[in-house]
Amino acid sequence: MTIDHHLHTPTPTADAAGTWRLGDRTVNRLGLGAMRLGGMPWEPPRNRDDALAVLRRAVELGVDHIDTAAFYFTPTRLANELISTALQPFPDDLTLVTKVGPSRSRDGEFEPMARPEQLRGQVEENLRQLGIDTIDVVNLRCGTSMDKTDASIAEHLGALAELRDAGLLRHIGISNVTADQLAEALTVTPVVSVQNRYGLTDRGDDDLLKLCGAKGIAFVPFFAVATASGASPDGPDTTGQAQISSIAEKYDASPAQIRLAWTLHRGPHVLAIPGTGNPAHVEQNIASASLRLDDADLATLDAIAAG
């Protein structure tokens, strides 16, 4: 914990939830997602200084795992550039994770899944934007939507393994995948993480989460607080909100913090990467790492069915 010298009270830090290993990298289980740093495409651009402040405050409070992508951009903001500007020279213990597969045109439209031979260019784009020589983890993101397919990913992973051998990346993960694709991936290369949509009211990957735990692979949910339905593509999910709000009041926390805490309770291999462009929200997200939900509250939360 750090101490707020104005209030003389401890400020929760990201190490409160413990650590997990991504290959040879040890990370705190509460990290930061970069997608929201510059704002979402359907929102007004976020204040650039706020985005830089989020990154610096997150690292100050112990975040050592940042998830990003070259296709996280708006017309005036680029997540990788914000990360590089805010944090260079990068701390030795900071683990940067990016993803390749999809891409976006200059006008923001998603392009089809890259061919295996195109992945080198995507990896190099991330390296160039971040200003580094090697990326700690590269996730192969399958598809350009959140709908999964069982398409073979062996050839793509073979291409990433070649880039690993060439020193452009250290470890390989996969994203938006099925259990069958994980099984296929493990015949090609070690996999350090699976990054799928998952949250308290979005439980379709319960079995995959458990499988990852059995295999010692990190499971990294995205949209753990929001959902991919509603007024915006990642709008707030109100399923079970009465129960969640009641539990939040008990812990003097917000419903979003309860959702993040529940996520971290799903297993020691489960990491959280909440994203924000708001300096106040980043402290709230990090404080979720210190919440310890009791068995009764966990049972109540587990019983909430997805709407």
Return phi, psi of residue 247, to 5°: -65, -40
Contacts of 99 (CB under 8 A, 6+ apart): 67, 69, 138, 139, 140, 141, 175, 195
- Please tell me which residue in 30, 36, 71, 72 is annotated as part of the active site: 72
* Token code pair at residue 183: 């099984």
Q: Please indicate whether residue 251 is annotated as part of the active site.
A: no
Rg (CA), the chain: 18
* Token code pair at residue 256: 């979003």
Burial of 27 (0-12, 13-18, 19+ CB in 10 A): buried
Nearest to 259 by CA among 197, 200, 195, 198: 200
Residues recognised as catalytic? 72
